Structure 1
Amino acid sequence: MVAEQSTGKPEDRGHDFLLNYAIRGKLRSLDLSAAAFWRVLDPPLDACRYFLIESSFALLVAFFINVAVISVTATICSAEDLSEQCNDITLNSASFLLKNVLRKSNSTIYAIALLASGQSSTITCTYAGQFIMQGFLDLKMKRWQRNLMTRSISIAPSLIASLVGGPAAAGNLIVISAMILSFELPFSLIPLLKFNSSANKMGPYKSSVYIIVISWILGLGIIGINVYYLSTAFVGWMIHNNLPKVATVFIAILVFPLMVVYIASVIYLMFRKDGVATFIDTTKNDPAVLAPMEDSNLVPYREDLADIPLPE
């Protein structure tokens, strides 16, 4: 919680994968001569290599930032005279964690970091939401109207909550959004793992056995941790809340069956058979596709994404 409030955003960013995929679907051509250190013989495989480098670099930087945030927080809050202050950290008061390092400029630097973090989160969330809504709903309207509607839906709720509730509401909103992301994580992570492990979906580009095993171990570990903490957090709230016992029992009767349905849905999603083959190697059968690829003018795999305009 301290780390989330210090950085101003939750850790889970599954929508970044959707945004990255949508932007890549917009790229109609690839300059093969620009690949100086790799000879591009297989464009999809080469795209995977570039994506691996890009994602690894971004995640490595994020890892060091999170380690720094947690280390500074743990160092400062380990002092006995600051224990009460650390128990009630908000977006306004978190700057004191940097005062021993940055002295008088701690508040200014923290404000700049918080603004940059908020801008990054807002841009990625809004763009990803716009691509997702345009893809699923097939919105047919003017570009400025579509952008206004999709971005308002993304930004308006959090903006209203922050203006009405102040810093305390903004901090609670961060925690709630992190819980929601943890709740929906299996429904985006499991299909991603299954698609990359399936020859019906990926053809010859499916992951190797080692990558499949490691990915499933890490994925199931993350899902298990999220389910455990969501369950224990709810049980702890049930025990220590100030509601009447009748209301607590009613909430338990309503929520526990939903938790069972949620876990059953995750298990079903894991073991659901993949019977539909979607990979089609068009380059072996269609000369119209093969010719532009030889001229370094690649045709995207997702024509529906190619028709979606990039956010302005």
Structure 2
Amino acid sequence: MSQEAWRESRDTPSLSEVFGTIAVPSGQTPFRRFLAFIGPGYLVAVGYMDPGNWATSLAGGAKFGYTLLFVALLSNIMAILLQSLCARLAIASGRDLAQACRDAFPRWVSFPLWLLAEAAIIATDLAEVIGTAIGLNLLFGIPLEIGVFITAADVFLILWLQNRGFRWVEAFVIALLGVIAACFLVQIAMADPDWNEVIRGFAPSVEIATNPEMLYIALGIIGATVMPHNLYLHSGIVQTRAFGQDRGSKRQALRLATWDSTLALMLALCVNASILILAAATFNASGNTEIVEIDQAHALLSPILGETVAPTLFGIALLCCGLNATVTATMAGQIVMEGFVRFRISPVMRRLITRTVAILPAMVVIVIWGAEETGRLLILSQVVLSFQLPFAIVPLVMFTASRAKMGDLVAPRWLTALCALIAVTIIGLNANLLWSVATGGF
């Protein structure tokens, strides 16, 4: 790689305490080497099933049945391609996206990008605060204003996991993802959806583009899927693997890391599709087409399915999503802060600062306007994420398309063209979302 491609040379990597700590066995079978790469993709997948995704999938399934399953599939394909670019950037250049922005752009560009990335992480954490608090409320009856403060205790979970080692972090996340998937598997079995309609739902439909209300929810599903912090996160945690620096080793590492993220995001698709299928099979089929709040869905599951098990599993899955996102948001925050401005603080302090900033608006809304207004706060967090997203996607596509920066692992033209199209599409969709909010159409 040409050293002139970057403004300055690399320095201490982000998350240096876990950088290159997971060995990639040489001389082993391809499957054994692949096992060493399993993990980062599942941490990334957590961001694709946050409360924002839950809200849009519930609304889409309740209102339009299975039709919007195609949109969930399409948005997942977008995510797979973009996350593959993150792995490519990390493995080819040895930089995460934050470091790459710092080394490629002048300070007057990189500093605002850092501030926007921090805003996105706080917005993400805000959604996690609300989602976890709702989960605690649904399962244990804890008032939201108390649950919001309880979420701050997850800092001890972060400390314990990171002291155990990065593999423990990955194992914890994968275990909770397994619980989430199992919860929805049981609920889907209880709901007994029309599987012929489910299959048809994954096929494109002209109605999605011609029905304004359906199109609006479809835009929401896509807009809530690709998360800015995931692009920084993935490009950082891929480098926890100690792969060789020769051309062959890097190509193998890229292939295995891409498989890891692809399979993990397919699991995320299954979870998001399950939420939509559950809403279609229960709420849409029974005429409850106006489900827009997570707690509404929980309350109505029991009388519709005739069991107390289903709403309990729903609450468990939501709480697991919040705990998982806690871990990944903290690491993303570290990567952004260390990569952009070379400022290092302990993960615990980083978590406390981010969570405090996120708790404040949640408490203000709950105390002044009531718990029922938390849905509006969730929407606001998605708007902030939508605004920041292009500032992460565009540099990612630019860097990975540059041979001077990427060397032999430069993205093939077809991949760059597809990801550029995705970037333009997402920018357009998010501009539509911002315009709708500004004009009062949301």
Amino acid at match of 1:78: N
User: Given the alignment of the two structures, is residue 182 of structure 1 paired with residue 386 of structure 2, yes or no?
Assistant: yes
**2:349 aligned partner:** 149
**C-alpha distance after superposition, 1:265-312 (max 9, x if no partner):** xxxxxxxxxxxxxxxxxxxxxxxxxxxxxxxxxxxxxxxxxxxxxxxx
State the SS of the aligned residue for 1:236.
coil
**1:19 aligned partner:** 233
**1:64 aligned partner:** 270
Amino acid at match of 2:265: L
Q: Residues 2 and 73 of structure 1 are in contact (CA less than 8 Å); yes or no, is this contact kept in structure 2? A: no
Partner of residue 4 from structure 1, selected from 35, 55, 67: 55
**C-alpha distance after superposition, 1:245-270 (max 9, x if no partner):** xxxxxxxxxxxxxxxxxxxxxxxxxx
Shift in Å at residue 178 of structure 1?
1.3
Instruction: Please provide the CA RMSD for this pair.
Output: 3.0
State the SS of the aligned residue for 1:93.
helix
Query: For 1:74-153, what aligned pairs fall within 5 Å after superposition?
Result: 74-78=280-284, 82-83=288-289, 86=291, 89-96=292-299, 98-99=301-302, 100-101=304-305, 103-139=307-343, 146-153=346-353
Partner of residue 243 from structure 2, selected from 23, 26, 30: 30
CA distance in 2 between partners of 1:215 and 1:150 (Å): 32
Shift in Å at residue 134 of structure 1?
2.6
CA distance in 2 between partners of 1:168 and 1:176 (Å): 14
CA distance in 2 between partners of 1:207 and 1:123 (Å): 30
CA distance in 2 between partners of 1:130 and 1:46 (Å): 27
CA distance in 1 between partners of 2:250 and 2:306 (Å): 47
Q: Residues 158 and 173 of structure 1 are in contact (CA less than 8 Å); yes or no, is this contact kept in structure 2? A: no
Shift in Å at residue 192 of structure 1?
0.8
Amino acid at match of 1:55: S
Shift in Å at residue 186 of structure 1?
0.7
Q: Residues 232 and 332 of structure 2 are in contact (CA less than 8 Å); yes or no, is this contact kept in structure 1? A: yes
Shift in Å at residue 75 of structure 1?
4.1
CA distance in 2 between partners of 1:97 and 1:72 (Å): 12
CA distance in 2 between partners of 1:98 and 1:123 (Å): 29
Q: Residues 330 and 347 of structure 2 are in contact (CA less than 8 Å); yes or no, is this contact kept in structure 1? A: no
User: Given the alignment of the two structures, is residue 46 of structure 1 paired with residue 260 of structure 2, yes or no?
Assistant: no
Query: For 1:263-282, what aligned pairs fall within 5 Å after superposition?
Result: none
**1:258 aligned partner:** none
Shift in Å at residue 59 of structure 1?
1.4
Task: Flag the 1:98–1:62 CA change in 2: closer, same or farther, 3 A.
Answer: farther
Task: Flag the 1:44–1:181 CA change in 2: closer, same or farther, 3 A.
Answer: same
Shift in Å at residue 80 of structure 1?
7.2
CA distance in 2 between partners of 1:236 and 1:135 (Å): 37
Query: What's the TM-score once normalised by structure 2's chain length?
Result: 0.45
Q: Which moved more, 1:100-109 or 1:114-123?
A: 100-109
**C-alpha distance after superposition, 1:86-131 (max 9, x if no partner):** 2xx4343321454344721122111111110101112111111022
Query: For 1:277-288, what aligned pairs fall within 5 Å after superposition?
Result: none
Shift in Å at residue 57 of structure 1?
0.9
Aligned pair count reads 223
Task: Flag the 1:47–1:31 CA change in 2: closer, same or farther, 3 A.
Answer: closer
Q: Residues 54 and 294 of structure 2 are in contact (CA less than 8 Å); yes or no, is this contact kept in structure 1? A: no
Amino acid at match of 2:237: I
Greater relative contact order, per chain length (Cα 8 Å cut-off, separation 6+): 2
Query: For 1:209-288, what aligned pairs fall within 5 Å after superposition?
Result: 209-237=413-441
Task: Flag the 1:121–1:201 CA change in 2: closer, same or farther, 3 A.
Answer: same
CA distance in 2 between partners of 1:12 and 1:102 (Å): 35
State the SS of the aligned residue for 1:82.
coil
Q: Residues 12 and 181 of structure 1 are in contact (CA less than 8 Å); yes or no, is this contact kept in structure 2? A: no
**1:196 aligned partner:** 400
**C-alpha distance after superposition, 1:186-207 (max 9, x if no partner):** 1101111111111121111111
User: Given the alignment of the two structures, is residue 171 of structure 1 paired with residue 171 of structure 2, yes or no?
Assistant: no
CA distance in 2 between partners of 1:119 and 1:194 (Å): 33
Structure 2, unaligned runs of 5 or more: 1-51, 59-127, 133-223
CA distance in 2 between partners of 1:235 and 1:80 (Å): 33
State the SS of the aligned residue for 2:295.
coil
CA distance in 2 between partners of 1:215 and 1:12 (Å): 12
**C-alpha distance after superposition, 1:211-270 (max 9, x if no partner):** 122222222112211112221232235xx9xxxxxxxxxxxxxxxxxxxxxxxxxxxxxx
Amino acid at match of 2:288: L
**1:281 aligned partner:** none
Instruction: Give 1 or 2 for the bigger CA radius of gyration.
Output: 1
Shift in Å at residue 133 of structure 1?
1.4
**2:18 aligned partner:** none
